[in-house]
Chains A and B, each alone.
Chain A
């Protein structure tokens, strides 16, 4: 039984990370019905931004530097997210281009980011400096590290913060309004483009933090590290009901735990299979996901 709980803790950390990335997917989908394939790479960029800053800091493990690393990762990925939206999607979105074009642009931007990363940093993985020295704790026969605790707690805190922003602030209100009826929002004088940028900024900031978290947790980064977690986070978003923010959070945790349990009790080589089987199953039989609201298909 302790083995089971130990595995649950392992899964929880990844669940939190998937959830943080999934939120970005789901928010963007909610507003512009776009699967932003580049989102996984924003996550990667966040990790590398943290890496570069951490390299520059003299005292890597002091609290101010930890905060600085996280902040700079957040800022950089926020900036990147806004840039992607401005240069990549906005013109097509305004032109009401087919969604297929947007999807291909997303794929292209993803390729672009990955290969720029590869050119700058090379394909060989890099160790992330231990800005938070890891310590192990034991609780009975279950052991966990301070980093796991930090990852789980801070992802929860961030999710609560996000929920507050979305539910309680003016911008959050406007985001939900634009997602529900973009034209009507415009008729109320809400600047849609600013809201869209804000959405990308929020999602990207979370992805950036998730990037640093993964970097500290594993602790290794490479320019292709965003692909698989990106896809998994996307599966989480679909599982939770695409467009629903609480759904994305729930989906992230469910997928994180499910993957861990499959690797623990069946085989780790079936872990990736699981995510995609869930994806197909949800698409076919539960298209609105766990928490999404069913939408009748339009004629």
Chain B
């Protein structure tokens, strides 16, 4: 059997006395589009933070492409190919759109190269610009390339954040509520773009989403978290009819 691209084994995260994640275990196959749903405070974003390394788990291990990354710092995980976006947009707001993209490309030449205007510096900067422009064009952001990121309309900023994540050339992309705040049409077109990209970049995507229509329509598989535990896993249809999920969302009927 092929090794899954991401394997999370028995992760437990605790903040003070509060258990944010409890024995969470799942894996993601290469090329999959996995959705994570669950009510407020279920631990979805904490799960992302744990996978990217911003939060270290109390127990459990995380494997990426078969490699144990549990104790790697976040920037190394990013270099291995795990990219993410944030629930409340974390763009570099005073940098231009193009620079936001270039940032994710690492440092392809020695740091002193620009001091002496070395040829390698000019060559690599040119290459970076070219690939940044290509990416911007894909996301229809090219006309904005010289603008400060914070001056973009909200929808464009959302797309820029995804584009920036892709500039890392990730293998695994974690999207935290990509359609939040977008109108229905915008949400659908964004998801269509993502679908295209997934093919183009041979990406694996994990998605936290509240917009159920998006989740149901695009995800191949869903995981439902509640109180930090996985309470259901399956296809969208299975999840939609799972009584535990309904209960988590709508509340306990039986007790009234």
Contacts and interface: CB of A to CB of B under 8 A. Distances in A.
Interface of A: 296, 299
B15 A296 contact: yes
Nearest to A299: B54
Interface in B84-116: none
Contacts of A296: 15-16
B49 interface: yes
B89 to A, nearest CB: 15
State the majority secondary structure of interface residues on B: loop
Which 5 residue pairs across A and B have the least CB separation, nearest first? A299-B54, A299-B49, A296-B15, A296-B16, A299-B55
A245 B160 CA distance: 46
5 contacts: A296-B15, A296-B16, A299-B49, A299-B54, A299-B55
Interface in B1-24: 15-16
A299 B16 CA distance: 15
A296 B15 CA distance: 9
A299 B55 CA distance: 9
A296 B54 CA distance: 13
A2 to B, nearest CB: 50
Contacts of B15: 296
A295 to B, nearest CB: 11
A297 to B, nearest CB: 11
Contacts of B16: 296
Contacts of A299: 49, 54-55
Contacts of B49: 299
Interface in B31-75: 49, 54-55
Nearest to B55: A299
Nearest to B49: A299
Interface string B204-242: 000000000000000000000000000000000000000
Contacts of B54: 299
B182 to A, nearest CB: 24
A278 B79 CA distance: 39
Nearest to B45: A299
